[in-house]
Structures are given as C-alpha cells and as structure tokens.
Amino acid sequence: MAASGAYEQPTLNRAWEAFIVHIPTVAVVWIASTVIGVFGTLIYFLIVMLISAIAGGQDASSLFGQILGLVGSLPFQVIGSLVNILLIAIPAIYYESGKVVTISAAFLELIRRPLRYLLAGILFSFAVTLGILFCVIPGIILMFITPVYVNRIFNTDMSILDAFSSSVQAVFGSQHGISFVLINILAALVAVIIGFCTCGLGLLVITPVLTFYIQNAAYAKGIIS
C-alpha cells in the first residue's frame, strides 16, 4: 500500500515540493551518470586511437578499434543506464514509501538487485525497439508505460515479465489510461519547449519535477494501486 499522499490530486506545486526535498539525491544521480558517461566516451576514444596508432591507421584496424572501443565502454554504458534509471525510480520509491529518498538509500537500492534492474531494462529496450521496427507507433506507445513499469520493478517482487505485462494492462486497460498517456505527452512537450528555450539547462529542473508529477498522477488515477 502506497503512502496516502500518493493518491492526492497531482499539482505542479506538489511535484515541485517533492523535487525540492530530493535535490541532493537527484543532483548526485545527474552528476554520477554524467561522469560515468564521460569516462565511457574517453575509454572508447582512447582504445580507438591506440589501435589506430599501433596499426598505422589502416581501414581494417580502424573498424577493429571501434569495435574494441564499444566493448571497452560497454560496462560504463551499462552502469550509467542503471544510475540514470534512478531519476524515475526515486519518485516511485518516494510515493510508495512516503519517505524522502536519500542519496545513500537510492544507491543502496540500486545495488541491492542490480541484475533485476539490468534485465528489466534490457527487456523494455528490446520491446520498444521491436515496436519501433513494426510501424514505429507500437514502440512509442510502449514508452508510456515507463513510470508504471519502473514502479513495479523497484517496489514489488513481481517477475520482470509480470511487471511488464501488468504495466501494459494497467495503462491501456484502465478507464483513466488515455488521460494518463495525455499527461505523459503534455509533459514531454513542456520539457522540449523549456529545454529549447533554456539551451537544455532547464531540463535539469523540469525533468525531475515532471517525473514526480507523472508518478503522482499514476497513483491518483489508479494506474498504480
């Protein structure tokens, strides 16, 4: 059973207040994911340049270097993705528990079941990619279950497949599913506009605020119960 506040009508003011108390945690997640991404990129280019220097810049060696670079940067990409998903998981954990998610609590949760979160991400990415390959629209539609899916993955012990299927059912089988999808679309449009007008800097604030809002809306509309 989620915290009682999760079922209250979502407002931007409430989402802002939730964001304010989580600024330290959100900031550390942003910084950590950025640093990990930068390290992964550096590893990639270092490997490519090293192979190119050793082989004298031949085309075959260049391709081989790029492949090795991708392999070498893969662990950083995986870890970065796991850390980045906390930006959605933090609001999910907060509304479920009713407690502010501290920096230590967020990362301890991440390392508690890393394989579960990794496999959940792989399944979701595969499903979305498959959906995009089939007329694009199915892949886009699946993206709307993300807040619900992440909530089930982090807050329950459901199997990954059950969490995925129940998330699809919860969103598209609910009488409030359409309005929840519209909220997600509107939130994305707002984020794009603010990001464009602020050269991307506004996304550091508006993205987590809207993430809290959407998670609250999922509870209030009964999408997550």
CA-only gyration radius of the chain, Å: 19
Q: Which pLDDT belongs to residue 57? A: 58
Domain that holds residue 200: 4-220
Q: Which pLDDT belongs to residue 198? A: 93
pLDDT 10s digits, 41-51: 999 889 888 88
**Mean predicted confidence (pLDDT) in 57-78:** 79
Q: Which pLDDT belongs to residue 112? A: 92
Q: Which pLDDT belongs to residue 61? A: 64
**Residue 27 included in any domain:** yes
**Mean predicted confidence (pLDDT) in 84-108:** 95
Taking residue 142's Cβ as centre, other Cβ atoms within 10 Å add up to 22
| Percentage of the chain lying above the pLDDT 70 cut | 96
Q: Which pLDDT belongs to residue 56? A: 64
**Residue 225 included in any domain:** no
More confident residue, 66 or 33: 33
Q: Which pLDDT belongs to residue 69? A: 81
**Alpha-carbon span 219 to 8, nearest angstrom:** 8
Could you give the number of structural domains in the chain?
1
Alpha helices in the chain (DSSP H): 12-21, 23-55, 59-84, 86-97, 103-112, 114-133, 137-143, 146-155, 160-172, 177-197, 203-220
**Mean predicted confidence (pLDDT) in 12-18:** 95
Write down the pTM of the prediction.
Answer: 0.91
For residue 210 the two structure tokens come to 């809207």
**Mean predicted confidence (pLDDT) in 89-109:** 96
- Classify burial at 3, counting beta carbons within 10 Å of its beta carbon; exposed 0-12, middle 13-18, buried 19 or more: middle
Q: Is the pLDDT of residue 91 over 80?
A: yes
**Mean predicted confidence (pLDDT) in 4-30:** 94
Q: Which pLDDT belongs to residue 128? A: 86
**Residue 102 included in any domain:** yes
**Residue 115 included in any domain:** yes
**Alpha-carbon span 12 to 101, nearest angstrom:** 19
Q: How far apart are the first and last CA of the chain?
A: 7
**Residue 207 included in any domain:** yes
Q: Which pLDDT belongs to residue 60? A: 59
**Mean predicted confidence (pLDDT) in 142-170:** 94
Q: Is the pLDDT of residue 85 over 90?
A: yes
